[in-house]
Amino acid sequence: MAPVDNGAPADATSDGGGSPAGATPGDGGSPAGATSDGGGSPAGAAPVDGAAARASVSVGGQVRALNLAGESGVVPLARDFARQALYAWGWLPAASADRRAAAEDVLLVVSELVTNACLHAEGPDELRVSCDNKVLRIEVSDRGSGQPAPRTPHRAGRPGGHGMFIVQRLCLDWGVLRTPGVAGKTVWAELGAPA
């Protein structure tokens, strides 16, 4: 398993979301030598089984990563992992309807990004979730070469094809990071922290 890094590599490029690599708010990286926060599962919640998880504390927030390569049932696994992070970071249990809606949006975006990796990119390799005081960032890495994009025109009455439309509607920004010479990509999305 790769160690927690400082976000996008220096030679990574961003496309799709309009923000250059390494320059987005809530970058989600953590410094070398980051320390573990002890897992932070809510009381009574079982840790995510089957996949290797790691957590660290960064200067501006917290980062959690889940290795999904070769796992089965990755969508519920990813949702459970994200839910545990939300409990650890105080988003859950939600004290208001707005906070509950914000947490549900995070879980929906996690589901959509992981599902897209399953359908279009041979499955996800890793889920990273990071949070600072203002932005929560979700990153799903995969080996696919495709370019995710909302279908246009969007046809609400038709089944399928709604994932990136949902991501675009719920998130502050989203995009794709690629590293030249390396197969695959990381699809990222950022949501505002609840007030």
Confidence of residue 55 (pLDDT cuts 50, 70, 90): low
| CA pair distance 193, 195, nearest whole angstrom | 6
Tell me how many degrees the CA angle 145-20-29 measures, rounded to the nearest 5: 85
Tell me what the mean pLDDT of segment 101-105 comes to: 96
Top-confidence range, 4-18, 90-104, 149-163: 90-104
Q: Is the pLDDT of residue 160 over 90?
A: no
The pLDDT value given to residue 91: 92
The pLDDT value given to residue 153: 67
Confidence of residue 56 (pLDDT cuts 50, 70, 90): low
Top-confidence range, 8-12, 115-119, 159-163: 115-119
> Which residues make Cβ contacts (< 8 Å) with residue 189, sequence separation at least 6?
109, 113, 137, 138, 167, 170, 171, 173, 174
Tell me what the mean pLDDT of segment 61-75 comes to: 95
6 vs 106, which has greater pLDDT? 106
Longest CA span, the chain: 49
Distances 195 to 62, 68, 87, 91, 184 between C-alpha atoms, Å = 18, 31, 16, 10, 35
Confidence of residue 81 (pLDDT cuts 50, 70, 90): very high
Question: 3-class DSSP state for residue 96?
Answer: coil
| CA pair distance 52, 188, nearest whole angstrom | 20
pTM to 2 decimal places: 0.72
The enclosing H or E element of 84 equals helix 74-88
Tell me what the mean pLDDT of segment 125-150 comes to: 93
Structure-token pair, residue 34: 């980051």
Tell me what the mean pLDDT of segment 52-73 comes to: 80
Confidence of residue 189 (pLDDT cuts 50, 70, 90): very high
The pLDDT value given to residue 18: 38
